[in-house]
Amino acid sequence: MELIFIGYPGSGKGTQAAILSEKYDIPKISTGDILREAVSRRTPLGLEAKKYMDKGELVPDEVVIGLIEDRLQQEDAQKGFILDGFPRTIAQAQELDRLLHKFKRSISAVISLEVSKKRIIDRLTKRRVCVQCGRVYNLIYDPPPEDGRCGVCGGDLIQRSDDREETVRHRMEVYEEQTRPLKEYYGAQGKLILIDGSLSIEKVRDEIQRKLNEIMNSDDSSSQ
Ligand code: AMP
């Protein structure tokens, strides 16, 4: 299965992609995570990407496309993958189609998590992430233990530098201008699935599963 998640930053893409990754035993590939790792290792790519990320801007297409091209060719991605945060522009989507075509593969479905702007601002500005294990908390909806440390590993919890309100608002504008057009792009390919992302993590998970089952069943019956 080859899946893409799209939606505002903070719409729950990473959380739902992680659930499906475990269930289907296929990797969740997040360009944001790959870039943050490069930033923390201070590689030349990381130092370049940081300039854009701190401002809430998109890193240039050719940089992220190069990362994805390498990542999709790794062994663990051969039986499927879940993309979280890529593609984010029409140019990235076209390049992804071209790459997959070359490998004789294609996207199974694109899941768009629909969440209102107000809720996104609430979610992101109150998001805290463990520096050690990456566990994500929300001070209101999913608070960390009272001692303010990670409940999984005891690590320090921090606010991502791009989760400050001003940057969040800018990231949302960038989404509207550059990423939202992907809904039309994948809608025209008949691959778009809209999911109400404002519900609880479990309800969103179940709704996604229900839609994916429908797709898998119709694939089975059409191949019989
Ligand atoms: P995310 O964790 O997905 O919200 O990504 C954090 C930041 O990394 C974004 O605000 C961008 O600066 C950069 N980034 C992640 N994925 C992409 C992408 N596909 N294209 C361009 N920039 C990206």
94-124 tens-digit pLDDT: 999 999 999 999 999 999 999 999 999 988 8
Whose Cα sits closest to atom 12 in ligand 1? 53
Site to probe by mutation for ligand 1, drawn from 58, 86, 161, 182 as the one with most ligand atoms within 8 Å of Cβ, is: 58
Catalytic hit among 36, 50, 88, 128: 88
CA distance 129 to 36: 13
pLDDT of residue 170: 92
Quick check: 135 and 129 in contact, CB under 8 A? yes
pLDDT of residue 221: 63
Secondary structure (DSSP) of 16-29:
HHHHHHHHHT--EE
Domains delineated in the chain: 2-27+74-214 (3.40.50.300)
Active site residue 41: no
| Collapsed DSSP state (helix, strand, coil) of residue 148 | coil
pLDDT of residue 23: 96
pLDDT of residue 223: 55
The secondary structure of residue 80, as a DSSP letter, is -
CA distance 200 to 214: 21
The alpha carbon of 147 and the centre of ligand 1 are apart by a number of angstroms equal to: 31
pLDDT single digits (tens) 55-78: 889 999 999 999 999 999 999 999
Site to probe by mutation for ligand 1, drawn from 53, 161, 170 as the one with most ligand atoms within 8 Å of Cβ, is: 53
Active site residue 28: no
Q: What atom of ligand 1 comes closest to residue 85's alpha carbon?
A: 3
pLDDT of residue 122: 86
Where the chain has pLDDT below 50, the residues are none
Active site residue 128: no
CA distance 71 to 35: 12
